[in-house]
Copies of this chain bind each other. A is one copy, B any other.
C-alpha cells in the first residue's frame, strides 16, 4: 500500500511546493516505496490526522502516523531495512543536523527573500490570509515591504551555496557516492524555489546545478515533473 504524505499545496492542489515535504517525498522514493500525496492547504494542516500535527509533512503508513521529515526518514529506515538507507549511523545523523541548520538559516531565508510574493500568490485566498498574518508577524513588515526591502538575487543564492559547490566538485552527493537524507534536505530548499519562482533563478552551471539536475531526474523524474513557475 502506498505511503500517504500530507503535503502543503497551493490554490492548485497539484502545486506541492513545500521544502520539508519534498524531503519526505524524495525519502519515500529513495526507499523504493510508492506514495500518495494528500494535498493540504496551510489552513488545513491543523486538522491532519485528527489535529495532532501543526505542520507537514506527516505520513500515514498503514496504522502508523509519523510527523517531521527527519523522524520520517528514521522511521522509513527502521521499517524498511532492506532498501537503501537514508541515514547510516549516529555519526552521519548528527552531521545531518548541521546540514539542516545550514540549509534553514542560509538558504531558506534567501528563498523567502527571492520569492515571498510568488509563494503568497500561489495560495488559495484563505491560505493567503493565514500566510500573510503569520509571516508579517515574523518579518515585522508587510509581505510587500519584505519583498522589496529584503530582495535577494540569484547571485546571493550562488554565494550562499559556495560551501556546497566546493564540496560537490569532489563528490557526487553530500553523502558521497549515493544520495543521503542530507542531499534531500538541501534539494528541498532549491526545489521550493524552482517551483515558486522558476528555474532561471537557480544556478545554471557548476557542481550544484549538476547535482540538482541529477536529483530532479531521479525516481523517474519525480522532481522534474513538479511544474516550475
Residues of chain B contacted by A164 (CB below 8 angstroms): 98, 101
Q: How many copies does the complex hold?
A: 2
Query: In terms of DSSP, what is the predominant structure of the interface of chain A?
Result: helix
Partner of A94, one of B98, B106, B162, B171: B171
Residues of chain B contacted by A162 (CB below 8 angstroms): 101, 105
The interface size of chain A toward B, counting residues with CB under 8 Å, comes to 30
Residues of chain B contacted by A102 (CB below 8 angstroms): 102, 163
Determine the distance from Cα of A177 to Cα of B99 in the docked complex, in whole angstroms: 17
Residues of chain B contacted by A97 (CB below 8 angstroms): 167, 170-171
Is there a chain B Cβ closer than 8 Å to A113's Cβ?
no
A-B contact pairs, 12 of them (CB 8 A): A89-B92, A91-B92, A91-B175, A91-B180, A93-B176, A94-B171, A95-B95, A95-B174, A95-B175, A97-B171, A102-B102, A105-B162
Determine the distance from Cα of A176 to Cα of B96 in the docked complex, in whole angstroms: 10
For A96, A98, A102, A175, the residue with the greatest tally of chain B CB atoms inside 10 Å of its CB is A98
- Residue in B closest to A180 when the chains form the complex, CB atoms: B91
Is there a chain B Cβ closer than 8 Å to A173's Cβ?
yes
